[in-house]
Structure 1
């Protein structure tokens, strides 16, 4: 697989992008895992493309995937796709909704209407990944400017959750923005589609998962991420993935994160055997 990442000029706050291309379309079967971002996955493959299966519902093509995708798998013969990760406070504006971002998957056409098809056509016709990133950044930026953002207090609370890597408490978040716990909980949940407590757990789990994938021992990860003990880490990993920490450490969905999303993944000391993934920077 080849991975492309955008130039700095195409990077926007709260938004990250990466392009993926198989040299030859390959059949894939990937379990989607909880991540602290809303994902817009734009299928640029020819033919069958990406197929989704969620709780007995089958969809095909470009899609929006929420923070907590639940029982969702993506498969099919994939040639190329553009993935856009939106932090929830940005996603609420870009997707033109105050959606339940926890546990949802929807075709992109259901969210962006006719714009979805037009954007896909422009991206398919682009001559390079560089041009595709420019197009995507323009689309996302335009939609952000045209819509009312979430309240500053909600956005600040989300940012604080991210910068603390989930090692904070709801009362602390509320105090930092001058709200009481009940008000923060209500506004955060209605605007981001997830409760502040759930967001804290999700961000902490995500950091722990990346540390596990980077080769750190479970006991060390539990201590660094603020879990009570190794058993607490095990329970949280099980709750979010249905797997053990050792299984998550070897999970293929984390194998490319230090290439495609370097800001979210600790750098491995050594490259894992059998996982060479060429990277393209444009």
Structure 2
């Protein structure tokens, strides 16, 4: 088995729009199924070989599909992605507050959906240029060039942006009432506007942010202590952590670790594809 992961720091003009990026190539794997887990970023994947084979989407009403390039919105249930023992591509993690500028639509329009990238961008240029490139730097540059030229105006309401910032900064620990109070809105109004912009309600976003931090910590720890992990990442106790993990992934933390190690979606740590995909 061979595995190559190439992390990439997004171009400065894309800061706040693209959180991180990675190139990946794996060969000689046993065919299997990868779980695309909930994440606080949208997932953009351009494959370099086989199409991305999504057997089950976060929205169960969406039919399975195969994608040369996929864009996945924020979600709270896993996607199931089949692979034939090899996979290669470029993945970019897009911030939900940057979706309007990069994609022309709010992230809320893509909530729990996986869609063909060209249907959103209105062109196959990004896919064609990434696939035509021969090196990782050239692939990243091609993707970024298309996104930079596509970027327009339009930012979310300052209150929504601040609510998102507070949710991230607190690791999902702030209560919705506290977030609403800090931005000067009622909980009801915040929930309506926040969901329309990001695709998640504030409470759901807090769950996803808290889970994402715990997932990254678990993937980086050879012998994890779940009670300590729960305490460090904002869960009431180990039982709470396990319940949330089952709800968001379909597996217990240790079963997920055993099933997914080597196919982890953490692009910041450069370990592989598929956040929302």
TM bucket (normalised to shorter chain) is 0.7 to 0.9
Alpha-carbon distance, 1:257 to partner:
5.6
Aligned positions of 1:42-191 closer than 5 A: 42-45=46-49, 48-54=50-56, 55=60, 56-68=63-75, 70=77, 72-77=79-84, 78-98=86-106, 99-113=108-122, 115=123, 117-144=124-151, 146-191=152-197
What is the TM-score with the length of structure 1 in the denominator?
Answer: 0.81
Alpha-carbon distance, 1:81 to partner:
0.7
Contact 1:59 1:107 in 2 (8 A): no
Q: Structure 1 210/163 Cα, relative in aligned 2: closer, same or farther at 3 Å?
A: same
Unmatched 5+ stretches in structure 1: 266-274, 278-282
Contact 1:53 1:73 in 2 (8 A): yes
Residues 76-132 of structure 1 deviation map (CA, whole Å, 9 limit, x = unaligned): 44442110111211124322213344321111122222x2x2111111222321122
Aligned positions, number:
259
Q: 1:222 aligns with which of 230, 233, 244?
A: 230
Contact 2:73 2:199 in 1 (8 A): no
| Residues in 1 aligned to 2:258 and 2:30: alpha-carbon distance in whole angstroms | 21
| Residues in 2 aligned to 1:6 and 1:71: alpha-carbon distance in whole angstroms | 25
Alpha-carbon distance, 1:134 to partner:
1.7
Q: Structure 1 79/223 Cα, relative in aligned 2: closer, same or farther at 3 Å?
A: closer
Q: Which runs of 4+ in 1 moved over 3 A?
A: 7-11, 23-28, 76-79, 99-102, 253-258
What is the TM-score with the length of structure 2 in the denominator?
Answer: 0.82
Alpha-carbon distance, 1:238 to partner:
1.0
After alignment, is 32-41 or 3-12 more displaced?
A: 3-12
Contact 1:92 1:192 in 2 (8 A): no
**CA RMSD in angstroms, aligned pairs only:** 2.7
Classify the secondary structure of the residue corresponding to 2:164.
helix
Alpha-carbon distance, 1:71 to partner:
5.4
After alignment, is 20-29 or 224-233 more displaced?
A: 20-29
Alpha-carbon distance, 1:249 to partner:
3.3
Classify the secondary structure of the residue corresponding to 2:224.
coil
Classify the secondary structure of the residue corresponding to 2:153.
coil
Q: Is 1:35 aligned to 2:42, yes or no?
A: no
Classify the secondary structure of the residue corresponding to 1:250.
helix
Residues 127-177 of structure 1 deviation map (CA, whole Å, 9 limit, x = unaligned): 321122122222223333x13121222122112211211111112222222
